[in-house]
Amino acid sequence: MIVRNVNYYRGFAICTGSITKGDSLVNPNNPINAEYNQLLYLVIGSGKANDVDLPSAGRMYDLSQLKGQPITYQGVSETSAWVAFNPLKQDKELDVEILKGESERTLLDDVNDIIVVPIDGNVSVGSTTIETLKSGRLPAGKSAVLTVPTEAVCAIVKVVDSSV
């Protein structure tokens, strides 16, 4: 079984998917159509992306070396689930940090907006609760405290100019 869903945010998309052992899914990985998986966070299980092993859940994998090449995702464990981060413009890339359970962080960037996207569970930014796969934007130059409760996982995303 293969499940795939795409959520669009300001300047990027998040593709969530899951796959069972022995199944495969091909992503064109085309930067023109926002199908380019720059980064992949493995939520559960293990798998492969072309020749890149994805052995550990709870880790971020940089797939930028595969830009423009089709990616075949293969399930290695009984079930694998991921969150892929895709920039929407060719001249942009994503700076993504993952925060896991019982974390608190003051967010501030003087140049770039910060987008907060909970991957699993709800988080709080100041007094605002953000639900799983919803988002909150913190404008450049503003600060707020992000609270990630136990068992939750959250992405802190910045869309930045490409270094290429």
Looking at residue 152, the DSSP 8-state letter turns out to be: -
Residues 16-29: tens digit of each pLDDT: 989 999 999 999 99
Which three-class secondary structure state does DSSP give residue 81? strand
What pTM value is reported for the model?
0.93
If one looks up domain 2-88 in CATH, what number appears?
2.60.120.10
Domain ranges of the chain: 2-88, 93-161
- How far apart CA 52 and CA 48 sit, in angstroms, is 6
Q: Which residue's entry shows tokens 């940090």?
A: 97
> Do 2-88 and 93-161 fold alike per CATH?
yes
- How far apart CA 112 and CA 61 sit, in angstroms, is 23
Which three-class secondary structure state does DSSP give residue 69? coil
Residues 52-109: tens digit of each pLDDT: 999 999 999 999 999 999 999 999 999 999 999 999 998 999 999 999 999 999 999 9
- How far apart CA 5 and CA 15 sit, in angstroms, is 6
Spelled out in words, what is the top-level CATH class assigned to the domain 93-161? mainly beta
